[in-house]
Structure 1
Amino acid sequence: MRIGILGAGGMAEALGAGWAKAGHDIVVGARHAGRAADLAARLGARAGTLADAAEHGETVLAALPHTAMNDVITSLADLLAGRALIDCSNPIAPGPDGLVLTTDGGPSAARRIAAAAPGAHVVKAFNLCAAGVWAAHTEGLAVPLCGDDANALTLVRTLVTDLRAVPLDAGGLDRAGYLEATAAFVIGVWFAGGDPRTVLPPLEQSTH
């Protein structure tokens, strides 16, 4: 599959490394050309501009800081039309009592991205674990996916399974805000030294 990666940070590298290992054709673009070139060299991929990466990918990973996301996506909207666009961002920030959603009371980050590039097929995915997890412990992880386009979801499911993870359909893009809120909760529990997995019972006990 042709994959464009927007960004050259931890998530771009962690997911890109797994996809490069699976044999996908990757172009990395970033706001800083040197960082794109460095990451592409580590992945065995090609470097280009953000526009090059957007134009290259059947599927495009938007691995950008939430604060920069909408401006970048708006500038690439025409190139992203018709493509699967993966949003792995989390619109969270420290608050007085823990992490909070910066989008609280408004559309989710994923819905804002979809509005910035109305021709793209946005899929929310890969937002519940940090880059270090994706770099080292992908096997067996469930990856919830929220999206509205069947073909885009099929492409992203393939990329999930290529990481030896398990795609988990979580509804349409209107449900992406729930994933973002879950990330704020889960990450906050981790930072506080807790284990969010203990909140839910094992599957075999969940119906009792």
Structure 2
Amino acid sequence: SDSVVKGLQTLADPVYLDLKSFTIFTEAAFSSLLSFPTGSVFDYPELKNMDQALLKHCHIAATTFILEGVKQNADRSTICSSLEDLKFDSERVDAFYVLYQKNKTNLEKLLSSIDRCPPHITDVSWRLDYCIKNSHVHKVNQPSYLISFNTENGENNGASSKQNFSCTLEQLLDLVGKMRDAAKSVERAAQL
């Protein structure tokens, strides 16, 4: 997208980031994708002199480029030519590619762990329960429904799991109403 291109062109410009700051920025971008960040890209002292909104824009652009590269299994020539088209000099291209190669395997594992489709409900069971007291030892004296959805994930070799929850009669009626609305919407969409 244009936003990603503009963000990457900003990273290519030595006016905004010198080579050392660019390398630190790129390391921070890879780090933010691979682990729960303990800090943010804004915490690096080498990046403090850069406009924070521009820094955020560049971070989004860099992480988008990184993820697309990994998703497409881009090789060295693809990455390098893409960055050179965006006016990256050879030092920045090399610095980026070294970090890309270093982190590519971990990013592939991360992307492969993300499911492409949500689990499918294969069965539903329920039972009526009666709650006398809650966890604060207050009297409740109210019926509740224990619902159990059996789900199957088609992408993950049919792995099945159970989703359990408890709800009141009002919450259950609301859920049933929303499910009926969803079913009607699907039927209408199928008729088109």
- Name the larger-Rg structure: 2
Calculate the TM-score normalised by the size of structure 2.
0.24
- Greater percentage in helix: 2
Q: Which structure exhibits the higher relative contact order, with contacts defined as CA atoms closer than 8 Å and separated by 6 or more residues? A: 1
